[in-house]
């Protein structure tokens, strides 16, 4: 019996030893795996660390290249802006300002009374009706019956009296008479004093519009001067010459209009 017990204990010890040795081997294998994995991880990190400067360099190079290309594009766009021809815009602005001066002159000359009937000679008269002040041409249609007679036809017959009062109060010296639902105004002959006074007004209007035209010319020349080196000298000289020709054209137009008005007044 004792012999069987010894053998059982010996077999048990051998099993324990084998199990311990296998666990030791497994633990050693596991530690080796862990070490190998950590070494691989370390190697990869060191490899990435070695590669990182190269990657950063490439990234910076690309950024620098993009910035350089962008700056070149910007410089190219600025060169395009410099190359823009300002000539058409300058001429168009100058012509528009000069033409506006001629239109204003024509409107002023229309208001000047002559010895002849004109449908626009009453346009500037202000009529007070219904508590409001309204230009006559918005309340009535003015037409020319003959060279010495005007017809004033109100859109609203109720404004007839107000129209008559406003025309009588105007500096034209007219005395319109009622003719049914309209007014008829005879144009009296001009006196010599009135003719001289009107000629002075026309002369002043001519000088005023000439000054406006010359101011438009000076603005155009200042714009050309401000362009400086960005606008070629040959183009600048050619543009200045065109502006001068445009100025002469509008000045002559103003002079012709004023001369025609003086002739209309003096000859009746």
- How does pLDDT run across 89-132, given as a tens digit for each residue? 999 999 999 999 999 999 888 878 777 888 788 887 899 998 99
pLDDT score at 154:
95
pLDDT score at 63:
53
CA separation, residue 110 to residues 53, 103, 104, 119, 154 (Å) = 85, 11, 10, 9, 21
79 vs 250 pLDDT, higher one: 250
**Residues 101 and 215 both lie in one domain:** yes
Closest CA to 185 of 150, 157, 221: 150
173 vs 54 pLDDT, higher one: 173
**Residues 144 and 99 both lie in one domain:** no
- How does pLDDT run across 195-247, given as a tens digit for each residue? 888 888 899 999 999 999 999 999 999 998 888 778 888 888 999 999 999 99
Is residue 261, in this structure, part of any structural domain at all? yes
Q: How far apart are CA 62 and CA 52, in angstroms?
A: 15
Which long-range contacts link 204-208 to residues 24+ away (Cβ below 8 Å)?
205/105, 205/108, 205/109, 205/258, 206/105, 206/254, 206/255, 206/258, 208/105
pLDDT score at 268:
62
Task: Supply the mean pLDDT for the chain.
Answer: 76
199 vs 55 pLDDT, higher one: 199
| Beta strand ranges found along 119-204 (DSSP E) | 126-129, 132-135, 140-146, 149-154, 177-179, 182-186
Q: How far apart are CA 102 and CA 257, in angstroms?
A: 9
Of the segments 11-15, 50-54, 225-229, 237-241, which one has the largest average pLDDT value?
237-241
DSSP state of 127: E
- Enter the pTM of the model: 0.56
Is residue 25, in this structure, part of any structural domain at all? no
Question: Residue 206 is part of which domain span?
Answer: 86-111+191-267
DSSP state of 155: S
**Residues 91 and 222 both lie in one domain:** yes
pLDDT at 158 over 50: yes
CA separation, residue 59 to residues 48, 155, 254 (Å) = 15, 81, 70
Name the domain count of the chain. 2
Closest CA to 161 of 175, 173, 149, 178: 178
Q: Are strands 149-154 and 140-146 parallel, antiparallel or unpaired?
A: antiparallel
**Residues 204 and 222 both lie in one domain:** yes
258 vs 53 pLDDT, higher one: 258
pLDDT score at 233:
87
Mean pLDDT of the region 63-85: 48
Is residue 71, in this structure, part of any structural domain at all? no
Residue ending a domain, among 137, 167, 186, is 186
**Residues 260 and 158 both lie in one domain:** no
CATH no. for residue 178? 3.30.1360.40
Residue ending a domain, among 186, 218, 236, is 186
């Amino acid at each position: 019996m004792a012999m069987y017990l010894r053998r059982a204990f010996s077999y048990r010890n051998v099993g324990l030893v084998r199990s311990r040795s296998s666990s030791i081997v497994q633990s050693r294998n596991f530690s080796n795996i862990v070490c190998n994995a950590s070494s691989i991880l370390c190697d990869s990190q060191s490899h990435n660390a070695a590669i990182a400067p190269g990657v950063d360099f490439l990234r910076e190079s690309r950024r620098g290249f993009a910035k350089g290309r962008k700056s070149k594009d910007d410089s190219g766009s600025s060169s395009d802006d410099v190359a823009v021809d300002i000539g058409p815009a300058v001429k168009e602005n100058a012509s528009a300002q000069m033409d506006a001066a001629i239109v204003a002159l024509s409107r002023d000359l229309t208001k000047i009374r002559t010895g002849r009937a004109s449908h626009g000679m009453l346009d500037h008269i202000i009529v007070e009706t219904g508590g409001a002040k309204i230009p006559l041409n918005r309340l009535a249609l003015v037409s020319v019956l003959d060279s010495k007679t005007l017809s004033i036809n109100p859109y609203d017959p109720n404004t007839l009296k107000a129209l008559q009062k406003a025309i009588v109060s105007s500096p034209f010296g007219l005395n319109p008479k009622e003719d049914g639902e309209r007014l008829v105004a005879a144009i009296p002959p001009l006196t010599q004093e009135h003719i001289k006074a009107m000629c002075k007004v026309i002369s002043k209007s001519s000088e005023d519009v000439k000054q406006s035209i010359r101011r438009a010319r000076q603005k155009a020349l200042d714009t050309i001067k401000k362009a400086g080196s960005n606008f070629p000298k040959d183009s600048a000289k050619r543009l200045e010459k065109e502006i001068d020709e445009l100025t002469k054209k509008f000045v002559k137009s103003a002079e012709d209009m004023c001369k025609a008005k003086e002739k209309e007044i003096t000859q009746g």
